[in-house]
A and B are shown apart, each in its own frame.
Chain A
């Protein structure tokens, strides 16, 4: 996630992921009765996709 002291693409994606998670309660896009749960699922799927990229990068695959 970090190379030569700078975040890699996966590092930046992880930062975006964290920002989206921690701003969820304030996120105006999600402030709708129908969206918090689909958003939650979307965040998880995005998270697992990113985790797959990171673990592959870390494993040197």
Chain B
């Protein structure tokens, strides 16, 4: 049998899409309130929430790009994985305070918290506008990767691949909102992890096992370097991976969707275990790819060459996995963006008396519009839009002091949060596009501008907050009341 034939690959993809659509339809019943539509009724169990977090983190390019980074840098890229290892602690400490206030005040977006806690319409409005502006090109980039891989391996024209992806994804997201997103994420996450485990087994067998592989690879990729450049890469990617699951608008909302704090505790532990498995898959696939495919491959091609050489029967599954990862990020982005548009902008600044039915209707229209925008970006590929993708993590990283400080520091102030956040974003933009020299504190590579912006952001946030008045105690007390309430739910 020709496992790599375009018809076989397209057949597997069609079967995957049919199962996805069935799951979305099956689990999307009872969308009656905006909580149902934007945060799945705050009723999701720990396993589903875990798979949703992990599948959303795993964007379309992760099996190609991240494996490529490990292929190129070996164990020197481990800051990527250690970032997640520390992130799960922060997930617990942030989530255990975010979930109760989300439930008490009906929050569904990050800006709900920033705007209310700091009493800052600046953070609410500009946070939402910037988040939408950065999120749409980011999830549209998944459509580009999906269209390209389908064209290369199934012979389907690029345009048709993009249309197929975005139309299917938009349709089920529009219909079922966050419920459809989370339960399709479970399927997508399981498909991806099973592929990863199988692929690791196959390629490790092909290279003669772990010890043989390490013996034959050069020490530059098997022993962690400790010079300044290597440590800069370690810290830079650590911060990237530490911050984005906590603050990116499309994944932070998983701290609202869980059904109880007891379930959230299980969710955090399961997320830790699953991320260990996921990162281990990437490390081993990347290093084995160096031995099988040899040096000099384009980063996003190394794993494809490796799979074709060692296990062509996995190729169709690989294409399905790349699509699964892309869809899980695209659908979350669609819900995240439409929640910010309809709630943070329309309800707060345009039509405050808008009802739940209208909000859901607007959310559905926004999903369709953002889907069309994603198609336009993927088909036209305007060059300036791709510049925005470079900034997405830099932008969201700047919310980290605002989030952690707001939840845990009584001296946190509105002015400190606004000035620190705005300065961090502007510095990130400056060192990405305008400055010819790297930032004064330079960790190197893509994380460098955001990392330096974050340092300035923290200094300003803390410094200003120590000088000016903090959030009024009476206002903060309404949040502390929610945090101190013992929960509460059946196991």
A→B interface (CB under 8 Å): 14, 18, 21, 24-26, 30-34, 36-37, 40-41, 43-45, 47-48, 51-52, 54-56, 58-60
Given A25-B231, A33-B215, A55-B268; A41-B276 close (CB under 8 Å): yes
Is A14 touching B89 in the complex (CB atoms < 8 A)? yes
- Name which residue of chain A comes closest to B84, CB basis: A44
User: Residue B214 at the A interface, CB < 8 A?
Assistant: yes
Given A34-B211, A52-B269, A55-B265; A44-B85 close (CB under 8 Å): yes
Given A36-B224, A55-B92; A44-B272 close (CB under 8 Å): yes
- CB-CB under 8 A from A34, the residues of chain B are 211, 214, 222
B→A interface (CB under 8 Å): 75, 78, 81-82, 85-86, 88-89, 92, 96, 210-211, 214-215, 217, 219, 222-226, 230-231, 234, 261-262, 265, 268-269, 272-273, 276, 280, 283-284, 486
Give the complex CA separation of A33 and B215 in angstroms.
Answer: 7
- CB-CB under 8 A from A54, the residues of chain B are 89, 92
- CB-CB under 8 A from A56, the residues of chain B are 265
How far in angstroms is the closest Cβ of chain A from B263?
11
- CB-CB under 8 A from A14, the residues of chain B are 89
- CB-CB under 8 A from B273, the residues of chain A are 48
Is A55 touching B85 in the complex (CB atoms < 8 A)? no
Is B78 touching A36 in the complex (CB atoms < 8 A)? yes
Is B280 touching A41 in the complex (CB atoms < 8 A)? yes
Chain B binding surface SS class: helix
Give the complex CA separation of A24 and B237 in angstroms.
Answer: 14
Is A51 touching B269 in the complex (CB atoms < 8 A)? yes
State which of A24, A30, A32 has its C-beta within 8 Å of the C-beta of B82. Answer: A24
- CB-CB under 8 A from A25, the residues of chain B are 224-226, 230-231, 234
- CB-CB under 8 A from B224, the residues of chain A are 24-25, 30-31, 36
Given A31-B224, A55-B269; A47-B96 close (CB under 8 Å): no
Is B226 touching A33 in the complex (CB atoms < 8 A)? no
- Name which residue of chain B comes closest to A20, CB basis: B82
28 sampled A-B residue pairs with Cβ under 8 A = A21-B82, A24-B82, A24-B224, A24-B234, A25-B230, A30-B224, A33-B214, A33-B222, A34-B214, A34-B222, A36-B223, A37-B75, A37-B280, A40-B75, A40-B81, A40-B280, A40-B283, A41-B276, A44-B272, A45-B276, A48-B88, A51-B88, A51-B269, A54-B89, A54-B92, A55-B268, A56-B265, A58-B96
Is B283 touching A47 in the complex (CB atoms < 8 A)? no
How far in angstroms is the closest Cβ of chain A from B61?
23
- Name which residue of chain B comes closest to A45, CB basis: B276
State which of A18, A40, A47, A58 has its C-beta within 8 Å of the C-beta of B78. Answer: A40
Is A43 touching B82 in the complex (CB atoms < 8 A)? yes
Is A33 touching B223 in the complex (CB atoms < 8 A)? yes
How far in angstroms is the closest Cβ of chain A from B482?
16
Give the complex CA separation of A43 and B81 in angstroms.
Answer: 11
- Name which residue of chain B comes closest to A31, CB basis: B223
- CB-CB under 8 A from B222, the residues of chain A are 33-34, 36
Q: Which of B89, B92, B217, B225 has the most CB of A within 10 A?
A: B89
- CB-CB under 8 A from B214, the residues of chain A are 33-34
How far in angstroms is the closest Cβ of chain A from B114?
24
New contact pairs (19) apart from A40-B78, A44-B272, A51-B269, CB-CB < 8 Å = A14-B89, A18-B86, A21-B85, A21-B86, A24-B78, A24-B224, A30-B224, A31-B226, A33-B217, A36-B75, A36-B222, A37-B283, A44-B81, A47-B88, A48-B269, A48-B272, A51-B92, A51-B272, A59-B265
- Name which residue of chain B comes closest to A32, CB basis: B223
- CB-CB under 8 A from A43, the residues of chain B are 82, 85
How far in angstroms is the closest Cβ of chain A from B64?
21
- Name which residue of chain A comes closest to B227, CB basis: A25
- CB-CB under 8 A from B223, the residues of chain A are 31-33, 36
How far in angstroms is the closest Cβ of chain B from A40?
6
Give the complex CA separation of A18 and B284 in angstroms.
Answer: 24
State which of A24, A44, A55, A59 has its C-beta within 8 Å of the C-beta of B276. Answer: A44
- CB-CB under 8 A from A30, the residues of chain B are 224
Give the complex CA separation of A52 and B3 in angstroms.
Answer: 44
- CB-CB under 8 A from A48, the residues of chain B are 88, 269, 272-273, 276
Give the complex CA separation of A33 and B213 in angstroms.
Answer: 10
- CB-CB under 8 A from B88, the residues of chain A are 47-48, 51
